[in-house]
Each structure stands twice: as structure tokens, then as C-alpha cells.
Chains A and B, each alone.
Chain A
Amino acid sequence: MDKKLKLKLNIVLVIIGILFLSLSESIFGSYQVRILNLCAIYIVLAVSLNLINGYIGMLSLGSAGFMALGAYASALLTMSAQVKEMNFFLTPIVPILANVELPFIVALLIGGILSAFVAFLIGFPVLKLTDDYLAIATLGFGEIIRVVFTNLQSITNGPLGLKGLPDYTNIYWSWGWAVFTVIVIGFLIKGSYGKSFKAIRENEIAAKAVGINVMKYKLMAFVISAFFTGIGGGLLAHLIGTIDPLMFRFILTFNIVLIIVLGGLGSVSGSIIGSIIFVIALEGLRFLDAPMNFGLFTIPGVPGTRMVVFSAILLFIILFYRKGIMGRQELSWEKVCSVKSRFKRSK
């Protein structure tokens, strides 16, 4: 396919995307808009975790911890003084934070940077580990963050959580960050640094033997991933409007791992597709929890049915697509066309 046609198709796609998103708030109800926002946030989280798990080949399970850092940092920096006073009725907030109120973008960035900084600190000892051991260490990190936040009453309000966050996250913020994350990580992967990440995944010993400073590269990827995960946490906090330590349990990380495995480890477009399928399927299957009338018999609503069905669907997808939907490949116009022509032929 020639370049001009591809460029045209890309431009058309971008315009459709922008139109769709900018009109979505007026066409759809707030529920649908919320789902769109969640899609975007999960894209940020999944693409950044995929950088670690898919491209550099380390099994990191610390997403929830980094999200908590980003979420709390940005929440504390955007809440007004009165709201903070209302929240911290048991233990007063530390005076430095009591009166800070920053614009959303600054607060988000600070959240991301804090998360990246913590990743940098724990990266030195933790990234010496490999495989399962790294998974356990990062999992432990996530839990430590949660427990610390539960007990840091004067900063995080402990188990009570923070309520009444300004609802800054809208379609533009969430999709803006999603696009930005995809572009940054996409270009990173395309360049020589990204190729070196893949080389480490393919054979760490050989990567060292050609002079790649494996530890430094792992740390770079870990920090970049943590930055975007922190941003994702901040976006999520300002979408939901209330956060507490229990929100950042392991299950949150598990969801993101699930998305990247579903989409394909080592594929950015796979992570995007995975995020959208995950969020929409999880919401779309909600009817299963309600009582259902089949005429002859009625199934009483069992809460959790949708999770069972959802898991079954995932099982089937993984059975038929061992390497996830995209494997390690990226979506391209050629591929879309080849799928289309295959359908035509089968007719």
C-alpha cells in the first residue's frame, strides 16, 4: 500500500476520532461518556505496563502502587482548602498541604513525577530480580504503598479516603493523555532504545554481551512506565471523584495485566484494543447480574454472574489466540485490508 493513501487514511481516522470524541459529550449520556473516559484511562495504564511486561520482558505487578501515588498526589494538590478541611475531620492535614490548590495539569504531572521518582528509588534493588521474584517484589511494593497510605492519616486521611475531588477528568483530558502516552511509547519502541528493550527481552545475556547496560535500560523503562501509570491514577481519581486505599488493591493491577495479555504482550495497538474490549465488555455484560425472564423460567439476579461470563469469554479468547489478540504485531492498514479481503473471499 502506498504511503499517500496511508497518510490520507490516517488523517481521516484522526478527524473521525476527534469529531466522535468532541461530540460524544453531547450525543451520549453521562454513563456512556464515563465508559469512554475509562477506556482512555485503561489505555494509558495498559500501554505503560506493556512497556515493562511486553517489551522489556519483566513481570511487574506494581501498577496499583504507582497509580495510588499518582492519584493521591494529584488529588491532594487539586482539592480546595475547604474540601480538605471537610475530609480531614479526624486528624488534621499537614499544614503544607492544607492550602495548596494547583491547576489539574500541574497536579497530574506532579503525581506522575512522584510516581516515577519512587520507581527510580525502588528500581535499583528491585530490578536486579528477574521473573517471578520481580513479580513478587513489585506486588509487595503495591501492597506496601496501600498499607502506608492507610496509616498516613495526616496526609492521606487514612482508610477514610478522600472525597469530593474536583471532576476535572473529561473526554479531552483522558483521551488527550491516552493519545500522548501511545505516541510517546510508540516512538520509544520504534527507536533504538526501544529496540534495545526488545533485545533485553529476547536475550538478556546477549544484550549485556553487546555492551548494553541492561540495568540502566530496565530502570529507564520502569521509570517511564511508572510516570504514565501515575498519570493514569490521577486521571482515574478525578473521574471517580473519591479515592481510598482499598481501591488500589491487587485486583486493579490484575485487570491491567489481563488487558495486556488479552491484547498481546509487546503490542501497543493490542493494549489499546484490549483496554476498549475490557471496559466495554465489563459494562456491557451488566445485564447478566439482573433477573432474567426466559418465558418458561426466570433466573433470579445473581450478582457476579457477569464476572463469571466475562472470565469465560477471556478464557476462550486466550485459548484461540495464545499470544493475545495482536501477538507482538501492530495494527496497520495492510492488516485491516487483508482481513477484509479474507472475509470477502470466504463469502
Chain B
Amino acid sequence: MSSILSCRDLTIKFGGLTAVDTYNMEIEQGEIVGLIGPNGAGKTTIFNMITGVYLPTNGEVYLNGEKIDGLKIEEIVKKGVVRTFQNIRLFDDMSVLENVFIAQQMNISSNIFASILRTKGYRAEESKMFENAMLLLKEVGLEQFAEYKASSLPYGKQRRLEIARALATKPKVLLLDEPAAGMNPQESVELMEFIHQIRDKFGVTIFLIEHHMQVVMGVCDRVYVIDYGETIAKGVPSEIQKNPKVIEAYLGVD
């Protein structure tokens, strides 16, 4: 079986510093894969290369066998790879519903003049977008907050909204950058359930960066561990936990 998302020898150098060195990865359809490593290991840099924020110095990224590195950020989103951010980035001053609504804008077929004239075709498309957005909010349990300002939601719900917004782009692969960051234990448990739920409901493949070991062990089918830009281990969570290299990277060694 060919993998849905794969990285081959992905490398990036910032001046003399090699932030990520020959990173190789294969993710199968429907998997939940984790990426862990100490601070500054290059996890977010890998995300940035996959989503087109950084251009890799070397190596390629493939989505369903199609090369996507070098494409623009919005083109990669269109292909079906979408991400969330470590520090939540919502459209703060807009409503929860609008946040999800906007995420469908890239697929709109009416042009700007149709939107000004509010033609029949445009209105139909717009109401369809609102319907979809509402449906999605229902799926993630945010429908009662639809008219709230995004910034007024509590932290855990903002995360949920950010994920819902990402799902509105109809992704194949969802990249989550530290989804449990800053969450209390209760919220983390809810998040774990939520991640499983969206994988099953939306059929997306999930690749996530996480520091909460509890969350990683709870949701991930497989884990990659990197340190100083190099892959030091990969495998199922239970193996990773016992791997001496991983323990060394996280806890240090005498």
C-alpha cells in the first residue's frame, strides 16, 4: 500500500545550522502519527516544510505520490494538507460560524462581481457554505457558540474551533501542532477523544506534534522521535517509551 503522506530525505539549513536533517517518513491512510522531540528539535520546522511555509534545502514531500514541496501554502491546502498552530490562530474578531465559513472560500466558484451583485448562483453557494459550516460546528459540538466571537471562547473550545476550521477545507491530512498545549488534564482527555472522533468521522489522516506524553501514548498509532533535527527513533508508542535513546534525549544522561 502506498502512503498518503511521505517525506524523503527532507533537509533544511538555515545558514550553517541544519535544522532538520534527512527526515524520512511514511504515513498510511487513516493513521494517527505523532512527532515528538525536545524543544528546538525541529518538529515545527518539519510542519512548516510540509505545509509550504519553508522551502526545504533538500528532499521531497509527497501527497498520494504527488510531489507537493515547492508549492505555495494555499495550493498545498487545496491539495488537502492543512494545519493548526501551536499558538492558536483564529480570526478573533469574527464569529465562530464565520471562522469555519471562511475556510471554504478557496473552493468558491462565483467571482467577486457575483458576490457584489449577489447573483442567484452566488447566494446559493453562500447559503451552502453557511449550511456546511453549521453542520461542521454541530459535529464538533460548537453549534451553540456559532454567533459568539471566536476570541470569547474558552481555550479548549478555541482549539476545537481551530481544528473545525481546518476540517472545513476538506483535508486528506490534518497536521496538528501541539493540540494539547496549555490544556488542563480534563481538556486533554477530551481532546484525545476528539482526535479519534474526527479521524473516524471525517476519514482524515492525522499527523501531530505533541509534548504531553499521555496524549501521544493515548492517541498515536505510531511515533517519530527527533532530536537536533535527526530522527532518533520510530515505532509504536509502547516501544518508544522504552527506547534508551528517547529517554536520553528527554531526560539527559549522566
Contact = CB atoms under 8 A, between A and B. Distances in A.
Interface of A: 184, 187-188, 191-196, 198-199, 202-203, 205-214, 220, 328
B74 A208 contact: yes
Nearest to B106: A211
Contact of B101 (A195, A202, A203, A328): A195
B166 interface: yes
25 contacts: A188-B115, A188-B116, A192-B102, A192-B105, A198-B91, A198-B94, A199-B102, A202-B91, A202-B92, A202-B94, A203-B89, A206-B85, A207-B91, A208-B77, A209-B83, A209-B89, A210-B102, A210-B103, A211-B78, A211-B103, A211-B106, A211-B107, A211-B169, A213-B74, A220-B112
A261 B122 CA distance: 32
Contact of A210 (B72, B77, B92): B77
Contacts of B91: 198-199, 202-203, 206-207
Contacts of A196: 102, 105
Interface string B118-159: 100010001001000000000000000000000000000000
B189 interface: no
Given A208-B74, A211-B169, A191 B90 contact: no
Q: Please tell me the size bucket of the interface on B.
A: 35 or more
Given A210-B169, A211-B169, 19 more contacts: A188-B116, A191-B118, A192-B115, A192-B129, A193-B115, A202-B93, A203-B89, A203-B90, A207-B102, A208-B77, A210-B77, A210-B105, A210-B165, A210-B168, A211-B78, A211-B103, A211-B106, A212-B74, A212-B102
A203 B92 CA distance: 8
B78 A184 contact: no
A209 B105 contact: no
B166 A205 contact: no
B105 A195 contact: yes
Contacts of A193: 105, 112, 115
Contacts of B169: 210-211
Contacts of B106: 210-213
Given A192-B101, A193-B115, A199-B102, A209 B93 contact: no
A198 B93 CA distance: 9
A195 B77 contact: no
A205 B92 CA distance: 13
Contacts of B90: 202-203, 206
Interface string B160-187: 0000011011000000000000000000
Contacts of A213: 72, 74, 106
Contacts of A192: 101-102, 105, 108, 115, 126, 129
A31 to B, nearest CB: 36
